[in-house]
């Protein structure tokens, strides 16, 4: 009797394990789950999560000018980005590229000039993962 019970449990367990629904991306996240710390392309970031708010109110990056689909994709990730009109610290190749700034205010930072909130870090990792983005750098005004 004991063998029958163990083998029945084993069959039931294997059956439920193999018929489980596969994981799906979070609702509203068409690009899949947010990157983990290990998958964040930190080589494109000139700061860490802990130093992400040590700047003059934003971090910046360049996008190709006129690529509406790419800009829409980035705005889906970070709707608060703002376009600039200069090369910025990111050294955009104007007019082929446009400067964009991601704010680092109270909503994005745990403290002034402190670390980035998890959600802000995740957004920046997703932006950095785009092949069109060469680097994301802190904004410093002179």
Tens digit of each residue's pLDDT (9 = 90 or more) over 18-42: 333 333 333 334 444 544 446 899 9
Tell me which residue has tokens 């700034």.
101
Tokens of 33: 């789950």
Tens digit of each residue's pLDDT (9 = 90 or more) over 101-138: 999 999 999 999 999 999 999 999 999 999 999 999 99
Do the beta carbons of residue 135 and residue 115 sit within 8 Å?
no
Element (H, E) at 129: none
Question: CATH number of the domain at 42-138, please?
Answer: 3.30.70
This model's pTM is above 0.85 = no
3-state secondary structure 13-42: HHHHHHCCCCCCCCCCCCCCCCCCCCCCCH
Residue 45 pairs in a beta bridge with: 136
């Amino acid at each position: 009797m004991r063998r029958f019970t163990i083998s029945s449990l084993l069959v039931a367990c294997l059956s439920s394990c193999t018929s489980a629904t596969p994981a799906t991306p979070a609702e509203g996240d068409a690009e899949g789950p947010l990157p983990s710390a290990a998958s964040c392309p930190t080589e494109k970031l000139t700061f860490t999560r802990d130093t992400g708010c040590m700047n003059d109110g934003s971090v910046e990056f360049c996008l190709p000018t006129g690529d509406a689909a790419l800009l829409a994709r980035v705005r889906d990730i970070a709707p608060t980005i703002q376009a600039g009109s200069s090369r910025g610290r990111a050294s955009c190749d104007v007019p082929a590229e446009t400067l964009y700034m991601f704010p680092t205010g109270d909503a994005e930072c745990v403290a002034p000039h402190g670390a980035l909130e998890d959600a802000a870090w995740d957004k920046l990792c997703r932006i950095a993962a785009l092949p069109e983005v060469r680097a994301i750098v802190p904004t410093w005004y002179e």
